[in-house]
Amino acid sequence: MPDDIFVTEILSINMSTSTTAPVNTKWWSGGKSPFNVEYGKLMMWYFLMSDAFTFGAFLIAYGTTRFATAGWPNPNEVFKSYPFAGENANAPLVFVSIMTFILIISSVTMVLAVKAGQEMNKKAVVNNLILTIIGGLAFLSCQAWEWTHLFHEGAWWGRNPFINADGTQSTTNFTNFFFTITGFHGFHVFSGVIINIVMLIMTLMDKFEQRGHYLMIEKAGLYWHFVDLVWVFVFTCFYLI
């Protein structure tokens, strides 16, 4: 009998627990839940994490090769040319600094486009998306000129005309890494420009006004900011070290 009483009490406790804690109970009560993220935005974060691993692998491979090699070309000698202005050894990195500034400004206009979307301000979204697209195209144009100039100097995959900073003959590691990583990043910028053009067209067609939100602009903004952030690491690795 005591055993039967004990079992009965356990069952009653379990039944009372199940009734007081339904399956759909929300335990978070501290404001907006940190896990309450829209599905598409969460998937964008997953994609960006995987892309960060890819860029990280490229840059780690570059850094390992760079510091395991006795000699390496001096970036001040490699990147000292300017469109329509020839070479300037006293200010070798001004051109790439301008490229970086353009990309940073385009990130600012993307922030303004996202903010305007949150405020349901269609006109501001259109204006800032146009500025972001122009910034992306300007950056790609600068990169295209730089690639073309280096190609005419004899630099390409498998070809490195630049000697090491110590005067010794260099390997093709520098050019192979440079064109692969900057090309991969340039492809991302190009993809971001296409995405922003699509967002602009959808905005002009009132797609987001009909939906009642501009969440797609926020997702495009996450991608664009990621591309800008990656460029900071690419700029540091190739142009400053």
* Tens-digit pLDDT profile for residues 106-117: 999 999 999 999
Task: Please provide the size of the chain in residues.
Answer: 241
* Tens-digit pLDDT profile for residues 87-104: 766 677 889 999 999 999
Mean pLDDT value across the chain: 87
Q: DSSP readout, 132-187?
A: HHHHHHHHHHHHHHHHHHHHHTT-BTTB--PPBTTSSPP-SHHHHHHHHHHHHHHH
pLDDT higher than threshold 60 for residue 16: no
Could you say which architecture CATH assigns to the domain 39-240? Answer: Up-down Bundle (1.20)
pTM for the full predicted model = 0.83
Q: Where are the domains of the chain?
A: 39-240
Q: What's the pLDDT at 40?
A: 85
Q: Could you give the CA distance from residue 45 to residue 92 in angstroms, rounded to a whole number?
A: 37
* Tens-digit pLDDT profile for residues 118-136: 999 999 999 999 999 999 9
Q: What's the pLDDT at 5?
A: 46
